[in-house]
């Protein structure tokens, strides 16, 4: 089945529940016609696009959809658990959950070069997904959370978003129900499908996850500290009403320590680098002016609650010249 690569000029922008429901109805019919009684495989990351595709396909074909969630150990706090809770427990999805944490972290041991880390994470993800796909019987289709900007960006910048690179003997026909939608439209559809708000409005998260925010060679203790500090930042932004106003906010933790004092003794710890940016297209980004009271609260919580971190700094660099991510 040939899928269109161009959004029709007269296609109405999906901005309301009514328009979203109409889209869902149309896609359910299209998917049922395309798939018939066959099985569909989907790599479910827990990101907005793959989650909306999963919910849409469950509505269309139920247990004919097999979702595979690979936890590479580089997810944010609570994200893999949320995938299992929403899709397995609430939507009764046919979900295969793979905890590949040790496999990924063992491969990443002592690897400091950012591009090498990305290649290892992306390559291993495909291997794990391929292994799981081979265990399944009768899969004829591969579903992907491709959206319209992915098609427009033909330079491969977003290649990690989709499960590309499966071996030649595992070529499936594609099912891509949201491929002509923009991100804001995908969110409206996710809302209409009843997905949790925190999943639908989840901020952009790089394919390699915390692997590019645990700067330099990843160690388990520093990765744990990063995950905990990032969770505090997200919690306090939620409480302060900043979650919907700031496009992306996160913590990075570098692989060096500085001296501090705790309980009257010398204490060496890592710095936590806080970043909060606003952007419309991710090509340029401005720094969000966070109230000092919020910054102080986040800092106090991180340095008292997170083992191994003894400083918090705020990155004030716009893009250009600084990219949004550090690596």
What pLDDT, in 10s, does the model give residues 257-295?
999 988 888 989 999 999 999 987 778 899 999 999 999
Mean pLDDT across 65-88: 95
Q: How confident is the model at residue 170 (pLDDT cuts 50, 70, 90)?
A: low
| Closest to 186 in 3D by CA, of 3, 78, 295, 55 | 55
Q: Residue 253 has what pLDDT?
A: 98
Residues 6+ apart with CB under 8 A from 95: 44, 67, 68, 69, 83, 84, 87, 88
Mean pLDDT for the chain overall: 91
Q: Residue 26 has what pLDDT?
A: 97
Q: Residue 204 has what pLDDT?
A: 79
Q: How confident is the model at residue 5 (pLDDT cuts 50, 70, 90)?
A: confident
pLDDT at 163 over 70: no
- 161 versus 312: the higher-pLDDT residue is 312
Q: Report the greatest alpha carbon distance in the chain.
A: 70
Strand 173-175, strand 65-71: pairing: unpaired
Q: 0.85 exceeded by the pTM?
A: yes
Q: How confident is the model at residue 88 (pLDDT cuts 50, 70, 90)?
A: very high
Q: Residue 246 has what pLDDT?
A: 92
pLDDT at 118 over 50: yes
Q: How confident is the model at residue 168 (pLDDT cuts 50, 70, 90)?
A: low
Give whole-number Cα distances, 261 to 19, 34, 246, 271, 306, in Å.
57, 64, 33, 13, 15
Which of 143-152, 307-316, 317-326 is the least confident region? 143-152
Q: Residue 256 has what pLDDT?
A: 96
What domains are defined for the chain? 17-200 (3.40.50.620), 213-314 (3.30.300.10)
Query: How far apart (Å, rounded) are the C-alpha atoms in residues 29 and 257?
Result: 57
Mean pLDDT across 238-252: 93
pLDDT at 304 over 50: yes
Q: Residue 154 has what pLDDT?
A: 52
Q: Above pLDDT 90, what percent of the chain?
A: 76
Q: Residue 166 has what pLDDT?
A: 55
User: Which helix (H) or strand (E) segment is 36 a member of?
Assistant: none
Q: How confident is the model at residue 81 (pLDDT cuts 50, 70, 90)?
A: very high
Q: Residue 2 has what pLDDT?
A: 59
Q: Are 145 and 177 in contact (CB under 8 A)?
A: no
Q: Residue 242 has what pLDDT?
A: 94
Other CB atoms within 10 A of residue 321 CB: 6
Q: How confident is the model at residue 160 (pLDDT cuts 50, 70, 90)?
A: very low
């Amino acid at each position: 089945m040939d899928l269109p690569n161009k959004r029709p000029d007269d296609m109405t922008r999906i901005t309301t529940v009514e328009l979203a429901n109409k889209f869902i109805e149309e896609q359910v019919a299209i998917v049922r016609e395309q798939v018939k009684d066959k099985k569909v495989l989907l790599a479910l990351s827990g990101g907005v696009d793959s989650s909306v595709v999963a919910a849409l396909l469950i509505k269309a074909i139920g247990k004919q959809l097999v979702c595979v969630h690979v936890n590479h150990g580089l997810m944010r706090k609570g994200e893999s658990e949320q995938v299992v809770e929403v899709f397995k427990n609430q939507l009764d999805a046919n979900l295969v959950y793979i905890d590949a944490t040790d496999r990924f972290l063992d491969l990443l041991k002592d690897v400091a070069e950012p591009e090498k880390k990305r290649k290892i994470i992306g390559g291993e993800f495909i291997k794990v997904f391929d292994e799981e796909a081979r265990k399944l019987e009768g899969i004829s289709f591969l579903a992907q959370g491709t959206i319209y900007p992915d098609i427009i960006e033909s330079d491969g910048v977003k290649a990690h978003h989709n499960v590309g690179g499966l071996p030649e003997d595992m070529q499936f026909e594609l099912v891509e129900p949201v491929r002509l939608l923009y991100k804001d439209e995908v969110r409206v559809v996710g809302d209409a499908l009843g997905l949790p708000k925190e999943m639908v409005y989840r901020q952009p998260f790089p394919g390699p996850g915390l692997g590019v925010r645990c700067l330099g060679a990843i160690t388990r203790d520093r990765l744990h500290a990063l995950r905990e500090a990032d969770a505090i930042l997200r919690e306090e932004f939620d409480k302060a009403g900043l979650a919907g106003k700031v496009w992306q906010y996160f913590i990075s933790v570098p692989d060096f320590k500085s001296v501090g004092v705790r309980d009257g003794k010398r204490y060496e710890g890592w710095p936590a680098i806080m970043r909060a940016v606003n952007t419309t297209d991710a090509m340029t980004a401005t720094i969000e002016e966070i109230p000092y009271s919020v910054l102080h609260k986040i800092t106090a919580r991180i340095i008292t609650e997170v083992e191994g971190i003894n400083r918090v700094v705020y990155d004030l660099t716009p893009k250009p010249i600084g990219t949004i991510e550090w690596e």
